[in-house]
A and B are shown apart, each in its own frame.
Chain A
Amino acid sequence: MTAVSVMSYDDALAAFDPVLGLEVHVELNTASKMFCGCPTEFGAEPNTQVCPVCLGLPGAMPVVNAKAIESAMRIGLALNCDIAQWCRFARKNYFYPDMPKNFQTSQYDEPIAFEGYTDVEVEGQTFRIEVERAHMEEDTGKSMHVGTSGRIHGADYSLVDYNRAGIPLIEIVTKPIEGIGDKAPLVAKAYVAHLRDLLLGLGVSDVRMEQGSLRCDVNLSLRPHGQVKLGTRTETKNVNSLRSVERAVRYEIGRQAALLTEGTAIIQETRHWQEDAGVTTSGRLKSDADDYRYFPEPDLVPIAPSREWVEQLKSALPEPPSVRRTRLQEAWGFSDLEMRDTVGAGAMTLVEQTVSEGATPAAARKWWLSDLARRANEAGVDLLSLDVTPADVARVQALVDEGKINDKIARQVFDGVLAGEGTPDEVVTARGLAVVSDEGALSEAVDRAIEANPGVADKIRDGKLAAAGALIGAVMKEMRGQADAGRVRELILTKLS
């Protein structure tokens, strides 16, 4: 493999104008699959959620899941799309072992929703992203290649799990996103985060990127400044977190710029994002020679949603994200910057839910944006995917407010919750984390600290209250952090006054 040269981001942007295109696949959270009654739960034993239909057995026939149609229309409406008067499913024909019928039932030239837009904000600037279409399709099964490489080449054998086959997917495709310049990586990330919030608000998907219920393919091309014609694009798959979306766009800009500058043409291909190395690698060549032989699925009848149904769904949509954002910012009393950070971290809904569980907005923001955001970042997942609920966060804050724990212990409580040790209360009990509220023990510890630090004690007696910090530190050390620092301070000041 030849070394890949990557141009510095600033140099790349000086020479080229990036154009983005984002294809987001959303797994709907319907109870049953797109065309049969099989359950859709994640993580079941392989091949236990299958039937003749989703296994594509000879003779089996699909029946459309009405709930999935409804979800698709609601997504379309939330993205300001037109809803088709009449549309059909088509067959996308190609051979692959994880595809039971060797064709995917998908919408082709008649999507259920089309011609929409949505506005996303990046660093205080609003970008309108035009949506070309949102269409329905079924997911494929999952192949696992067993062997030293873990990839199909060189595998000893492969296993296929069809549990995922037939799970309803909505594919949301943007039009080319132009004129975003050096903001391209941030716009891409903000769009996916925005979409995730919107979908979460609609309640149509779990939108968990690391479980694959929200998957993003990043199309990117470069063209010299001033050129109208779009350059050749690459499609990068396997972009499984918000952070990866940003990084993948940034990397592709640098990689393509280096190639174009040295006079090498960009190959139209599918590339894969390698999270660990932070690079994209070449996948399948994608060319116009791909012929899926689409034709209308003859086993299904056309979908013709009545205008009444569409209007009814439209009127029942949750408030648009921008309106919601303004409303919440006012209600929470966040500054523009605080709100922007909250939205940027994909935490708006989490904060909202935490507040509704009883925490103050400031406390909710504090936990989600600092400690928990850091943990998510370290784990390379999104905040949503952390195994901690808004209720947990609210409860931890309540424990702090009640003086049962302090902020430092709270972090240990989160350690426990994330490690699956139970609710915050259970973790506190199991780990013996409650602050020492035994006044006797605390009082003795304070006495010992005063005795051991006579100089400091004198300063406090002289009114230099700032010196109390040293004594508090000593007490907290002795109590292994399990004391309420406020109470310790009170005790010290009382004793030395």
Chain B
Amino acid sequence: MSDLTRRTAAELADALASGETTSVEVTSAHLDRIAGVDHDLHSFLHVDAEGAISAARESDARRSAGKPASALDGVPIAVKDILTTIGMPTTCGSRILEGWVPPYDATVVSRLKAAGLPILGKTNMDEFAMGSSTEHSAYGPTHNPWDLDRIPGGSGGGSAAAVSSFEAPLAIGTDTGGSIRQPGAVTGTVGVKPTFGGVSRYGLVALANSLDQAGPVARTILDAALLHEVIGGHDPLDSTSIDQPLPPLVEAAREGTRQGAARDLSGLRIGVVKELGGDGYQAGVRARFDESVQLLVDAGASVVEVSCPHFVHALAAYYLILPSEASSNLAKFDAMRYGLRVWPEGIESPSAEEVMRASRDAGFGDEVKRRIILGTYALSSGYYDAYYGQAQKVRTLISRDFDAAFEQADVLVSPTAPTTAFKIGEKVDDPVSMYLNDIATIPANLAGVPGLSLPSGLADEDGLPTGFQILAPAMADDRLYRVGAALEAMLIHAWGGPLLARAPELAQKESVR
């Protein structure tokens, strides 16, 4: 049965539709894979075998009644532990939410359920999505399937590792500054941050509300598009959700695959962002990026270099806006209503405030505390204009840079991350060096435009995956899929097969299920 885990979501959907297999078989195969390899990876914080199998049975019943709920009905999925799920814990990788089981489903989760996707479990992440390595999870790091000593990226390292290691064909991630795309790049998978407002944030525990966006994690562009269509679209529960239909994404992906196979990209204008490359990017990352651009050019696309001069301020603006919003969002974790409650030591009859203080001290990790302090400071009276206010202005300038760039090009491209996966522990004590990992992904979040990362090969110096980022104008997510699928087809042709086929085999424990 293990070959089922090697198939893409689209292949599984076909096999389910043809009756070749059942959702129970597919779901069991993935649960077996999780049981076999997750002790080494730690992609999951919670596995819901019982719930997944029960959902798979219902899917099979729908299928035999001839009434599948969607194209992906019966294809299992993993969900980042930042989205609320009825009956499953939601910790956000934090001690402070240990044991909390939400009474409601995030809209993304309810759409997955409505579409019939069995949920395998909840994936590991940096605490409250703060980090680029998943090392800041209070429950221990996730390991990169390509090299267990290395990080799988972050904050959604668990989702990327699960998909990359065949524990799940699909996963949901969330991307505030690159948390879907950067893990995709360093694990050799596909990750998409949709247009801000394109996928509901209702039930996504907010890190930075104006930047957060949930999106698909997959092994192929087509799979990502299939998942994006399930979770996307207007939600009246999220006031910032865009009340417009999604552009046709699956169609765009299929069309892109055809264009790639036919080497026909004439008329496509590619903009290479000058500020997102060059020095500071690993040689192997740059080499693979240049090769991919060359493939596009060889297929008839035109390439222009575009300048986005304000991108150099993106990281600084991001690290004012994000902590500001986060410091306020995280105030609700006060031990009064749910989650961890710690009795302060040495105080006989503590006040509510003393309990709050002790609980927050024990419940939050250092990175979270660092950002709460930063954000509290940035919003303080007398500093607001200089920090938060100024950062918002930079944000406007970055949006204008994008507007100008999209006048010259249909899509913008860059390496997704400046380096391949680094070693666990290598940067954990150097926050700024950690923050620099997201230098190429952050501008899209600040402007609300969509971005996609797909594998572009392995760096010569370390043999680890590199990522290629595509950016499109707001609500033109279809361009990501068209161009992404075309490039993917050409790369797979050049490699003679998917990149993940070259990942090392993981030691498989005997199934204990």
Contact = CB atoms under 8 A, between A and B. Distances in A.
A298 interface: yes
Contacts of A60: 104, 202-203
Q: Which of B202, B328, B338, B380 has the most CB of A within 10 A?
A: B328
Contacts of B262: none
B501 to A, nearest CB: 37
Interface residues of B, number: 44
A293 B381 contact: yes
Contact of A101 (B97, B203, B205, B332): B332
Contacts of A299: 201, 206, 209, 238-240
A473 interface: no
A456 to B, nearest CB: 76
Contacts of B325: 295, 298
Given A63-B239, A298-B209, A100 B337 contact: yes
B102 A59 contact: yes
A108 to B, nearest CB: 11
B460 interface: no
Interface string B233-263: 0001111100000000000000000000000
B31 interface: no
B90 interface: yes
Contacts of B237: 61, 63
Q: Which of B103, B236, B332 has the most CB of A within 10 A?
A: B332
A144 to B, nearest CB: 13
Q: Which of A57, A63, A301 has the most CB of B within 10 A?
A: A57
A64 B332 contact: no
Contacts of A64: 239
A79 B106 CA distance: 42
Contacts of B337: 55-56, 100
A64 B240 CA distance: 11
A57 B328 contact: no
Interface string A73-102: 000000000000000000101010100111
Q: Which of B100, B352, B353, B376 has the most CB of A within 10 A?
A: B352
A58 interface: yes
Main DSSP-derived SS at the B contact region: loop
Interface in A44-67: 52, 55-64
Contacts of B106: 59
A303 to B, nearest CB: 10
A93 B375 CA distance: 12
Contacts of B454: none
A293 B380 contact: yes
B381 A291 contact: yes
B92 A58 contact: yes
B396 to A, nearest CB: 14
Interface string B95-115: 001001011101000000000
B318 to A, nearest CB: 14
Interface in A275-332: 291, 293-295, 298-301
B388 A95 contact: no
B379 interface: yes
B328 A58 contact: no
B324 interface: yes
Contact of B328 (A63, A100, A295, A301): A295
B331 A58 contact: no
Nearest to A103: B328
A299 B205 CA distance: 12
B205 A59 contact: yes
A298 B239 contact: no
Contacts of A52: 102-104
B336 A97 contact: yes
A298 B238 CA distance: 11
Main DSSP-derived SS at the A contact region: loop
B438 interface: no
Interface string B367-397: 0000000001001110010001000000000
Contacts of B236: 63
B83 interface: yes
Given A57-B338, A58-B102, A158-B352, A102 B202 contact: no
Nearest to B335: A97
Contact of B380 (A55, A57, A291, A300): A291
Contacts of A57: 84, 102-104, 338
B356 interface: yes
Contacts of A101: 331-332
Given A95-B331, A301-B240, A61 B384 contact: no
A149 to B, nearest CB: 14
A59 B352 contact: no
Given A55-B337, A57-B103, A95 B353 contact: yes
B83 A295 contact: no
Q: Which of B203, B324, B380 has the most CB of A within 10 A?
A: B203
Contacts of B210: 298
Contacts of B104: 52, 57, 59-60
B260 to A, nearest CB: 38
Contact of A300 (B239, B336, B338, B356): B239
A58 B104 CA distance: 10
A265 B420 CA distance: 66
B372 to A, nearest CB: 11
Contacts of A95: 331, 334, 353, 356
A430 to B, nearest CB: 47
A158 B384 CA distance: 35
Contacts of A294: 379, 384
B226 interface: no
Q: Which of A62, A64, A102 has the most CB of B within 10 A?
A: A102
Given A59-B202, A298-B325, A93 B239 contact: no
B299 interface: no
B97 A58 contact: yes
Q: Which of A52, A59, A97 has the most CB of B within 10 A?
A: A59
B119 to A, nearest CB: 16
A293 B203 CA distance: 25
B206 A59 contact: yes
B204 interface: yes
A293 B92 contact: no
B209 A295 contact: no
A60 B202 CA distance: 6
A59 B203 contact: yes
Contacts of A61: 201-202, 237-239
A61 to B, nearest CB: 5
Given A58-B90, A295-B384, A298-B210, A103 B239 contact: no
A471 B489 CA distance: 114
A455 B201 CA distance: 94
Nearest to B379: A293
A52 B101 CA distance: 13
Nearest to A301: B239
A408 B56 CA distance: 78
B84 A59 contact: yes
A300 B376 CA distance: 21
Interface in B76-96: 83-84, 90, 92
A295 B203 contact: no
Given A52-B102, A100-B337, A295-B388, 16 more contacts: A56-B337, A57-B103, A59-B102, A59-B203, A61-B237, A63-B236, A93-B327, A95-B356, A102-B332, A102-B334, A291-B381, A293-B328, A295-B328, A295-B384, A300-B240, A301-B239
Interface of A: 52, 55-64, 91, 93, 95, 97, 100-103, 158, 160, 291, 293-295, 298-301
16 contacts: A52-B103, A57-B84, A58-B92, A58-B332, A59-B202, A61-B202, A62-B239, A97-B334, A97-B336, A100-B332, A160-B336, A293-B328, A293-B376, A295-B324, A295-B384, A299-B240
Interface of B: 83-84, 90, 92, 97, 100, 102-104, 106, 201-206, 208-210, 236-240, 324-325, 327-328, 331-334, 336-338, 352-353, 356, 376, 379-381, 384, 388
Ranked nearest first, the 8 interchain pairs of A and B with the lowest CB-CB distance are A102-B331, A298-B209, A293-B379, A298-B210, A59-B203, A58-B205, A59-B84, A59-B205
